[in-house]
Structure formats: structure tokens, C-alpha cells
Structure 1
């Protein structure tokens, strides 16, 4: 198989200025895809993200800015990306997400609304735009970055868990609706969720430090993961990105409606 098997395809990756989203955007670009980068950030952060994606693929990338809490902004985002890509995206990765931890009774209602809007409702709105165009072309991939918390719950994360369970359920519905579209040769239309456990990003460094005591960073990682993730190893963003790229292959045409855990055995317990 050619490493550039996605040449001629266009992808939109939400929340791709950093972390898992940026890793996915880079890996898609390396496979030949033209990638629309999305996310909030400083002008320097945005420029760095676009440059990193272009360097990975040697092609054109562009940043799109939209507040995913705003339905009109999402509508405009999808219209702008469709104009830029001359017809709409072939690959949609809904990666953007936020979290706030608090007991259910103390969860601020505005946090509930924002988390559900960004983590769940925005994926509904991007999918309702993208899927019909994918079906008209005979190929499409929707990859929703859910979480291990789309499969099991944890305390003090009621809106996050609700949003990720909802994302998994909605993805299964869309997968069923588009499962019979087109053929093995065209690649068909698939909708899947990736459900990571702990992923090594800069955002979790303070938690590692809080658990290391007088030990090493590895000691801190193992202590942090001990309660939930049996492997005691975190995944890297690029490992999640590798799975996302595999889901885009034609050979994955019958892999749809799945919620794939990458969780070191967390959900096997």
C-alpha cells in the first residue's frame, strides 16, 4: 500500500491546534490528505499548527476558526471548508472537547451546557453536513474521538461522561444509516469512535507531578494510572493518530459502528 493512499482526499479535524487533534492532522497529511485545521489559539499557535501539518504532508493546509458552541458558526465552518475543498470533506474527525470536574450537585449549569455543546452537539452538526456529501461520492470516514468515558463512568464528570456516551450512541446510529452506501471498491461510508484512556499530553503533566512524590516521572505515571489503567502505560497522541489513519483505508470499509478502546485494559475489568 502506498503511504499516500489519501492523496486527493480532504479532511477536517476539529480541535487540531495541539494534542491528539494535531497528531491526527499530521498523520492524515502524511498519507496525502489535504487537511483543514480547526481550533482556538493565539496567532502563533495557529501558525505553528498549520506549519506542522504542511510539513508532515508537503501540501496545503488552512486554519478555520469557529466556536463549536454556536450552531450558526458550525454551519459557516462547514460551508467554508466545502468551498475550500471544492465539494466537502472526505474525512471528518470530531476531536474538539472540553472537561470540567465537580460532583453532580455542584456542577455549574453553564459548564454542562458548554461541554454538551462542544463534545456532542457540535459533532451532530458537522456530521449532518458532511455525511450526505460523502455518500454522494461513495467514500467517507467519520472518526469521533470519544473517550474511555464513553464506555464507563467516573465520579465528578457527569457532563463529560454524558457527552461521550452520547457521542458513541450517535455514531452507531449514523453508522447504521450509512452502512449500505456504495461498495467495497469505493470504500463505503463508515462512522467510528476511538475511545482513548490516558494519553500523554502536556495537559496532564501537573497530575503526573502530583502523583510522583519523591520518585521519577515514570513512578508518577504508574501511580496516576494505577486505579484505572492496568497497563500502567499512557498512549501517545501519534498512536491514536495511527488508528485514525487505519480507519480511513479502503480495507476498513466493514469496520463501522465501533467504539474502539485504546485504554490499556481499563474497560476489560
Structure 2
């Protein structure tokens, strides 16, 4: 229970990767604060599971909502910027509102939560900032212009804050999963089918898993375990890194 006494805010944590990270941090003793949308009864169950965890349904694309959430949550020791959204479309047809949403949620929201969490971390001389990036922070795929741009951006943002905070006992790292079987991935299959003229099985086998050498989806719990490791004191010199959890995808 090496995170006893630490407080962790995980955005986008009512399902998928974020929930797995929240569970992993709670399992090591952290007080977890959830953020995200979902069914109220399901969220109530998650809160109970995670030790009566606080929950904020703040819309992270709304700066005022982010500021209100961070002010109410108080000092944060561990910040996990995980919330994200995806849309698949050729660039000439890419809806402008979808571009703006993806950049706002996947990238700009992380800037706002980070800028508001950092003063408290500096004051304590300890902090961990973990950003969920993607294999698409390192390589690109067609029809995902906004997502690729946002994830390349979060990788660069992470490196910058890692350098800024290195002498304050605060580290910043990315985790870049390949395809993890989450609602986000499942939800993009129909769009990819339409964009590429493929069947569901062809999208899974010939698009999603084609570059993952293991030919297996990453499990959310694997990402959670890595996030927990990055919070250990033994990881104090792991800083500014972009950790691949992609079955070998970006090894090529």
C-alpha cells in the first residue's frame, strides 16, 4: 500500500482505461477521485467499490467546469489525464466540431488540469503526472487526423512539464497503449468500417490488430499496473518518458 495518504484524480475514469488506473491506484492505498460521465447508479457502485470515492461529472472541454472541479477537489498528489474521444474520417470530410472536441478533450483539458494541480505538488515537493497518450503519439494512422494530432501533442506537453518540474520532486510521463478493448475502441469500429469499406471482422483483424505483434488487445489492467509503478518512489527518475504498451506495434 505504497500510496497510502496520496490523493489521485483520474479523468475519464468511469470506464475503460481510466477506471482500470483508478482501481490500480486505489489498490495501492490512494484516495481516488473519479471524473467522467455515465449512469448514476453505475457510478454510485464504482464510488463504493473505490472507498467512497468522490466523483465529478465535469465537462473537461469547459474551462470553467475544470477550474471548479480542481478547486473543489483540493490538493492532488497524482494527476492522471486520461479522458479522450475519437472520430474517424478522411481529412477533407472531417467535421470541424469533431476536430475541436478531440483537441479540447484529449489535449487542452490536460493543460488545464495540470496547470491547476502543479502548485500543490510543488508545495509538497512530490507529485506524479501521468498522461494517457497512445501508440498514435508515436506513429500515425489514416483518417485519424485530430486524434493523431492530439496524442502527438500530449507527448510533447508531457516532455515539457517533465523538464519544468524535475527539480521539484514531480515527474511527468506518458503511457501509450496500442489497441485496448474499451468502449472508445469498440465505438470507432463502425466509423472505420464506413471509412475503409470493411467488415467488422476485417477492421479488428486487418486494421486494429494488424500491427500489434502479439495479435492481442491490450488489457486495461495492464495499463493500470504501469500507472501504479510510475507512482512508486523507485520511479522517481523515470521522467519525461513515453511508455509503449502496444504488443510491439511501435517496435517496427
TM-score (norm 2): 0.91
For residues 20 and 226 of structure 1, do their structure 2 counterparts lie closer, same or farther at Cα, with a shift above 3 Å needed? Answer: closer
Aligned pairs, how many? 243
For residues 100 and 205 of structure 1, do their structure 2 counterparts lie closer, same or farther at Cα, with a shift above 3 Å needed? Answer: closer
1:194 matched residue in structure 2: 175
Q: Does 1:70 align with 2:57?
A: no
Please, what is the CA RMSD of the aligned residues?
1.8
1:238-268 Cα shifts (integer Å, max 9, x gaps): 1100000000001100001011111111111
Q: Does 1:139 align with 2:122?
A: no
Match of 1:112 among 99, 115, 122: 99
Does the CA contact (< 8 Å) of 1:36 and 1:63 recur in 2?
Answer: yes
2:240 matched residue in structure 1: 257
CA distance in 2, matches of 1:205, 1:40: 17
Match of 1:95 among 79, 82, 86: 82
Does the CA contact (< 8 Å) of 1:225 and 1:233 recur in 2?
Answer: no
CA distance in 1, matches of 2:213, 2:221: 21
For residues 50 and 69 of structure 1, do their structure 2 counterparts lie closer, same or farther at Cα, with a shift above 3 Å needed? Answer: same
Residue 51 of structure 1 and its aligned partner are, at CA, apart by 2.4
1:217-252 Cα shifts (integer Å, max 9, x gaps): xxx965554422111111110110000000000110
Does the CA contact (< 8 Å) of 1:211 and 1:224 recur in 2?
Answer: no
For residues 202 and 173 of structure 1, do their structure 2 counterparts lie closer, same or farther at Cα, with a shift above 3 Å needed? Answer: closer
Residue 99 of structure 1 and its aligned partner are, at CA, apart by 0.5
Does the CA contact (< 8 Å) of 1:6 and 1:33 recur in 2?
Answer: yes
SS of aligned partner of 1:179: helix
Between 253-262 and 193-202, report the one with greater CA deviation. 193-202
1:165-209 Cα shifts (integer Å, max 9, x gaps): 00000110000001112xxxxxx2100000000112255458599
2:11 matched residue in structure 1: 14
Does the CA contact (< 8 Å) of 2:126 and 2:170 recur in 1?
Answer: yes
CA distance in 1, matches of 2:186, 2:130: 27
Q: Does 1:47 align with 2:44?
A: yes
CA distance in 2, matches of 1:222, 1:161: 21
1:242 matched residue in structure 2: 225
CA distance in 1, matches of 2:186, 2:221: 18
5+ unaligned residues in a row in structure 1: which ranges? Answer: 55-59, 83-87, 182-187, 213-219
Matched ranges for 1:161-200 at <5 A: 161-181=148-168, 188-200=169-181
Does the CA contact (< 8 Å) of 2:209 and 2:217 recur in 1?
Answer: no
5+ unaligned residues in a row in structure 2: which ranges? Answer: 191-198
Residue 49 of structure 1 and its aligned partner are, at CA, apart by 2.2
SS of aligned partner of 1:228: coil
Q: Does 1:210 align with 2:216?
A: no
Does the CA contact (< 8 Å) of 1:194 and 1:260 recur in 2?
Answer: yes
